[in-house]
Amino acid sequence: MKTELEKCMAGENYNCHDEIFLGFKKTARTLLSKYNSLSYDGKEEKREILGSLFGRIGSNISVGSPFICDYGRNIYMGNNVSVNMNCTFVDCNKITIGNNVLIASNVQIYTATHPIELEDRLVENWDPETGEYFCNTYALSITIGDGCWIGGGVIILPGVSIGNGSVIGAGSVVTKDIPENRVAAGNPCRVIRKINGVQ
């Protein structure tokens, strides 16, 4: 029988109020409180906190404050990554960010979601005494490839992959995968043209 964590990482419905997730959130909130209170030039301490918070960080990482995430442990960053201020990463499943990536202010990355149909969304015979959440939740991983630039205010939805070298225009809502070396924008986000020498 799978644990709630195993269900979560497999993209299946899981109990997001299970003790393990509450523990992840408590740790993340403590580290984020420290991180977001540091001065702009506290680079060494910031890196130390990010190293404890994230699943992996490469070299030359900058994450502007305030920054919000859910668990932290599911965020994996490559080298040369700049995340501007006021970003939210709901990392109930894995968020993988490649090398040489720019993420502008107010970007929201959501791995967690719920079933669309009401009948599927509500937990059958829900009992508040169990401590279980009243609705079904699942989470799908997100990947941002090497050399991407994610514009201001972009929202990336669960299960999306953005290919290497692509640029997502400000304010876009990315609902589906974007191939490599494309400019894409809009709500829903659509490919506009090829870039980086791609014919």
* Residues with active-site annotation: 114
- Structure-token pair, residue 25: 């959130």
H helices of 38-184, in order, are 43-53, 118-121
Residue with token string 């959501």: 110
Contact 92, 72 (CB under 8 A): no
Phi-psi region of 170 (alpha: psi -120 to 50; beta: other; left: phi over 0): beta
Q: Are strands 112-113 and 138-139 parallel, antiparallel or unpaired?
A: antiparallel
